[in-house]
Structure 1
């Protein structure tokens, strides 16, 4: 199989780098066994960026390597050290590259050197426990996980940015014309469809410098897939003008300059979007005696149609100077009307699952389905092996209003609540709580009382238990001092076990 050297359409699979995880760490120093949380944040993942590079003229690199991903963020570490950021992956593309989604939706049209598109953002790094500390949660025993980077499939289409587009039948002399006008050296031969890929040439006419694009020849029925030219007509969409190159020396039966022009215009109309482009007509090969006669015969009728007509010969260079200056005049006029394309930076941000900023709740198949950008992102950040982290997630969902909406829609305790898409959904048992914070007073580090079935005393009850415990200890000390036996213990194992976890002591 031949390896293509010119590729103008590819499918590219991109993924932003995953964010690094935060870390739960406690500062330890001599004589300071618990110096406070010092877990650092994870680094952000690297973005995948498309950038217009003038030196790139084809998408062939992405034809061979269609899978690209940004650098991963590093995990945080102790002593408040954040993880390193993942490296951005910059993909150079030719000017005129059109980016579409897998479904064909237009995402960006990259025109102008240096224009960038952040096509896949890297995931954010997770917060360490130092960043999660607050006045109430002074020593969090958990950290947040890094988010995965965006992942999507896109299609890149190249539309060559040229000022003049040459169109015509195969073997009409388009490649010879571009070779005569510029230093381009396309393949030239005496058989149809010599040109298999678009050719570009730079032409200088007076003070104007412009580019000319030559596309594969059009034939009748190209709109239905015949020939090659219809696939490449996208490359003349950006041209300021079209030049009909007509072969006046053809010996094929049923062909003449007027018929050829009508056929090409019919195919251009079938393609669409080119009706407003100025037209010039180049009657080629007038160095042949019979062709010169035919050109003089049809010139008057073409001018009656309002077309500018030039009799040329790509072989002898007859009429090329007049044609090149006519094209330069059209280009200069078009450039005065059009504002210069600015260098921009475009960031592609995927929509949330439901198209809204918050969340939606639906009931299906006996389950409550919660969808939304925030809830799904928070679930991805949660370490479900840590009870305190799960309690923190519950508080975040409660503050967002998920619990209240579930209750308002009739959810009962014990119902299944599914958060996330089908591929990475997490199922919870609905257990409504009063929001008191993941740092419920008296709970141990790394533990949330709401996750322990027999551990649901209120703060007031815990304070009363603590006061009773201190009274017992005072009585026990007096008994030891006087030699009397202390009264029977009033304490359950549960209360005695709370000594390490109550912050009011």
Structure 2
């Protein structure tokens, strides 16, 4: 049974915004008291948050589809719909978020770090919010915007100060078990370690974390064995420690060739050239192991490595190694750039940015792309002529009509608003955007107008009577 997963594909869907509602206040002796339709609620977000108690992505391996709740629709009497609840997904420290193309979206390091993986949809406005001096009684409301849905990839890169690398059965798990309180599975056959083990070491006043990376073999960087699955776990480590087996029983292996092979795999993986290296010659409690360590140590030191001879089983040389690692880790931490306090970056819109684009796609066909036009289309109820007219007015005010004319569009040409897989297509009628004149003053209801004063009503009645008398006086029978 799988108990450790460090890479998953997650399908997230934020909540949809609730629809606004078109409603008219109705009271005794006042059947048309004005629009009172409430707004729809906002859809819930999908949020990733770093939780130190989570160490694996196993939960998302078993349940890869996650969805936040939708916002509720509005109601009459100016009652807005309830917002959808955010879906918070805990992830391990060191999780990298990528899109399906491999582009990094976020690097989540540090307790409480968050990333909004899916943005909840806006709630639609009710007709009360759409009312204005010109549009006193809108007979329509806006629809809620669908929540963002996308596929993301989560990759876990272990956050540790020291990474132990080496051949299978070189003694990495044994070493981490005696340096820290970690209790990894230990055996003398290859690939005993199937997951990275993490331990905490205290050396004087320095506390650091140490991880043993599952055994690497030739070709690991190209996917052979377990190496490719776990090479990513050494990326965040400050120090790389080669653990070499000086008591190997395999005739075709020796510690120096093991070191060269591991270095070649790290080079092929890339990005680790500047990390400090140390060499640990393990199993010196075995007589042949001690003799071999004495032979190869000068050669390794000539290469510039700091070499330490230890025995994880006999607890030999561990204190010296622990403090040496603490010193290197302390220097690496001191060399880190100081992180600046969080700043708000303001990116103003360019003065020549219209907020949308118009592109010609084939003969007599144009596509409009932009955040506002696409959102407005999703909010429009196309079964309501008044709502369609309102959309046309909004597009006209944004400048879409003028941009289409400049691009060469003519009446009857096909216009698509939105991406290819989710667009609204219609035949363009240039006068439609100015269609307030075609339908009259859209959204107005003369029954909603305030009653005339009594004096004005009497005056209008007298005028009407005089006009009728004059017409009668001019009447001549046959």
Tell me if TM exceeds 0.5: yes
CA distance in 2, matches of 1:118, 1:343: 21
Structure 1: distance between partners of 2:341 and 2:184: 31
Q: 1:445 to 1:401 in 2, by over 3 A?
A: closer
* 1:146-176 superposed Cα distances (whole Å, 9 cap, x missing partner): 0001111010000000110000111110011
Equivalent in 84, 88, 92 of residue 90 of structure 2: 92
C-alpha distance in structure 2 between counterparts of 1:207 and 1:166, whole Å: 22
| 1:356-395 superposed Cα distances (whole Å, 9 cap, x missing partner) | 8322231425423222222111111001111111100000
Partner-residue secondary structure (3-state), 1:364 = coil
1:115·1:345 contact (CA, 8 Å) conserved in 2?
A: no
How far, CA to CA, are the matches of 1:363 and 1:189 in structure 2?
A: 64
Residue 422 of structure 1 aligns with which residue?
420
- The TM-score with structure 2 as length reference comes to 0.89
1:18 aligns with 2:5: no
Matched, 1:322 2:337: no
Q: Distance in 1 between matches of 2:23 and 2:358?
A: 36
- Equivalent in the alignment of 1:177: 175
Cα distance, 1:248–1:406 mapped onto 2, change above 3 Å: same
Query: In structure 1, what is the equivalent of residue 330 of structure 2?
Result: 332
> 2:295 aligns to what SS in structure 1?
helix
Alignment of 1:430-445 (within 5 A): 430-433=428-431, 438=436, 442=440, 445=443
Contact 2:194/2:214, CA 8 A, preserved across alignment: yes
The aligned residue for residue 82 of structure 1 is 80
Q: Does 1:56 align with 2:54?
A: yes
State the Cα distance separating 1:20 from its structure 2 match: 0.3
- The answer on 1:307 being equivalent to 2:305 is yes
Cα RMSD for the two superposed structures = 2.8
The two structures have a TM-score, normalised by structure 1, of 0.84
Q: Find the aligned partners of 2:218 and 2:263 in 1 and give their Cα distance.
A: 10
Map 1:105-144; keep pairs closer than 5 Å: 105-144=103-142
Residue number in structure 2 paired with 1:474: 464
Q: Do the aligned residues in 2 keep the contact of 1:388 with 1:438 (CA within 8 Å)?
A: no
CA distance 1:272–1:193, shift in 2 (3 Å)? same
For 1:195 and 1:345, locate their aligned partners in 2 and report how far apart those are by CA, in whole Å: 43
Residue 102 of structure 2, aligned match among 85, 101, 104: 104
1:32-71 aligned at under 5 Å gives the runs: 32-71=30-69
1:268-279 alignment, distance < 5 Å? 268-279=266-277
Q: 1:290 to 1:132 in 2, by over 3 A?
A: same
Q: Secondary structure at the match of 1:231?
A: helix
* Alignment check: 8 A CA contact 1:248 1:257 kept: yes
Mapped partners of 1:248, 1:78: distance in 2: 80
After superposition, give the CA deviation of every residue in 1:472-495 in whole Å (9 maximum; x if it has no partner): x937983699799899xxxxxxxx
Aligned to 1:162: 160
In 1, Cα distance between equivalents of 2:335 and 2:178 = 29
DSSP-derived class of the 2:430 partner: coil
Does the 8 Å CA contact 2:185/2:193 hold for their aligned counterparts? yes
* Residue segments in structure 2 that go unaligned for 5+ positions in a row: 346-352, 446-459
**Map of 1:148 onto structure 2:** 146
* SS of 1:388 mapped into structure 2: helix
Does the 8 A contact of 1:359 with 1:375 survive in 2?
no
Asked if the contact 1:159–1:234 (Cα under 8 Å) also holds between the matched residues in 2, the reply is yes
Checking the alignment, whether the CA contact within 8 Å between 1:116 and 1:345 is kept in structure 2 is: no
Provide the residue aligned with 2:237 in structure 1.
Answer: 239
Q: Which moved more, 1:420-429 or 1:106-115?
A: 420-429
My pick for the range that moved more, 278-287 or 228-237, is 228-237
2:197 maps to 199
Number of residues paired by the alignment?
A: 455
2:282 equivalent to 1:292: no
Report the CA distance between 1:404 and its aligned residue: 1.5
- Is the 8 Å Cα contact of residues 392 and 432 (structure 2) preserved in structure 1? no
Contact 2:45 2:116 in 1 (8 A): yes
* C-alpha distance in 1 between matches for 2:175 and 2:354: 55
Judged with a 3 Å threshold, the aligned counterparts in structure 2 of structure 1 residues 431 and 251 are, in CA distance, closer, same or farther, namely same
Which runs of 5 or more structure 1 residues have no equivalent in the other structure?
Answer: 348-354, 448-469, 488-505
